[in-house]
Amino acid sequence: MTKNIDWGNLGFEYTAADYRVTATYKDGKWSELKLTDDPTVHISECAGVLQYAQTVFEGLKAYRTSEGKIYTFRPDLNAQRLIDSANRLVIPAVPEEMFMEALDMLVKANEEWIPPYGSGATLYIRPFIYGSGPVIGVAPAPEYEFRMMCMPVGPYFKGGAKPIVIKVSDLDRAAPHGTGNIKAGLNYAMSLHAGEIAHAEGFSENMYLDAATRTCVEETGGANFIFITKDGKVVTPKSKSDSILPSVTRRSLMIVAKDILGLETEQREVLFEEVPEFAECGLCGTAAVISPVGKINDHGKEIAFPSGMEEMGPTIKKLYDTLTGIQMGTIEAPEGWIHEIK
C-alpha cells in the first residue's frame, strides 16, 4: 500500500509523514527509541539549539526496487558521520546500532510514504540531534533530543538533468580547520546569504574556494565537486584545511569510477586556475546524486565546460547511471552498500 500522492510532481519540501522516531539524552544516557505521530517539538526557550546553534544532522534516502524491496544506501556512513559531527559540537553521539535501529523503525512505520519504483521520487530521511536543555552561559546543553523524520521527495531532475550555471562566491563557507567537514546547521545558516546573492544574480549555486588562500576549489553549499579530465580521469578536490564535507555520494562515485567503470581516480588539491582544463564538472550529494555543471562564472569571466548546457557529459552520465542503478537495485552493489529494510 502506498499513499495516494502525485509522486512525479513532488518537489523537495517538508511533508509530515505519519511517524518519526525520537530519543532523549538525560543524565548521561540515551532513552529507548520511541515512535511518535507528533510532528512538533516542545523545548526550553533557552535550549542549546536555539541560543548557540548546537545541532547536527544527516540526510539519506530509502528506495523501492523493481522487486518491491526497500533499500537504503550505505546508512552506516551516515551513522558514522553523525557521530563525527556530534563529537565536534559536544553533542552526545548516537551509537551506530541505535541509528540503524531508528532507521528500520522509521522506514517500516512509514512504508506507505515510500514512493513506488519508477516514479523517480524517493523517501528522504532526516536524522538530527539538538541541544534541547537550557543554557545561557556558553556551554554544551544539559539535555538532547535525537529525532529521525522522513518525507517523500520528487525526482530531482524533472524532464532530464539540465546542466546548471554556478558562480564563484566572494563569501566563504567554512573556516580552515573549522566546522566545514561536519554536517551542522550552522554551516548552512551562514551560507544562506551567499545563496541569496547567487540566486538574485541568476546562478544556481556558489562555488566556494578555500578560505585561507582562495586558490583551491572546495565545494558548494551542499554538494562536493567531481571533475573529469580531457583524458577521462575522475578528480575530486582534497581540502588544504579539512573544510570539505565528506559526501557519501562522492566517496561512492569515486569507488564506482575505479572499481566498476575502470576509470583512473584522484583526490587531490584542485587549483581554481586549472578548472578551465577539465572536460566535465558535477556536484555530488544525496539529493540529486550528480548535478551537471555547464558553466562557472568567475566575476564575469565564464568557464564553459565542453560538455555544454544541454545534457550531462558522457563520463558523468555513466557515473550517474551506475550509482542510481545500484541504489534502485538494478545493478549489483558492492558488498555492504545496501541495507535492506525488512
Instruction: Enumerate binding residues for ligand PLP (CB under 6 A).
Output: 59, 183, 219, 222-224, 245, 247-250, 284-286
Annotated catalytic, 183? yes
Closer residue to ligand PLP (CB): 147 or 250: 250
What is the rounded CA–CA span in Å between residue 24 and residue 131?
A: 10
Closer residue to ligand PLP (CB): 133 or 167: 167
Closer residue to ligand PLP (CB): 141 or 290: 290
User: How many CB atoms neighbour CB 341 within 10 A?
Assistant: 17
- 217-203-244 Cα angle (round to 5): 25
* Residue 283: CB minimum distance to ligand PLP, A: 8
What is the rounded CA–CA span in Å between residue 320 and residue 314?
A: 10
For CA atoms 256, 259, 261, 262, give the dihedral sign.
positive
Closer residue to ligand PLP (CB): 52 or 188: 188
Closer residue to ligand PLP (CB): 58 or 143: 58
Closer residue to ligand PLP (CB): 219 or 280: 219
Chain centre distance of CA 23: 23
Identify the active-site residue in 29, 34, 162, 183: 183
Residues forming a β-bridge with 298: 301
For CA atoms 155, 278, 240, 211, give the dihedral sign.
negative
What is the rounded CA–CA span in Å between residue 71 and residue 291?
A: 22
* Residue 218: CB minimum distance to ligand PLP, A: 9
Yes or no: say if 320 and 156 are a contact pair by the CB < 8 Å rule: no
User: How many CB atoms neighbour CB 274 within 10 A?
Assistant: 14
* Residue 45: CB minimum distance to ligand PLP, A: 28
Residues forming a β-bridge with 209: 217
What is the rounded CA–CA span in Å between residue 301 and residue 89?
A: 39
* Residue 333: CB minimum distance to ligand PLP, A: 16
* Residue 305: CB minimum distance to ligand PLP, A: 20
Q: Grid coordinates in use for 231?
A: 583524458
What is the rounded CA–CA span in Å between residue 11 and residue 215?
A: 36
Q: Which residues are catalytic?
A: 183
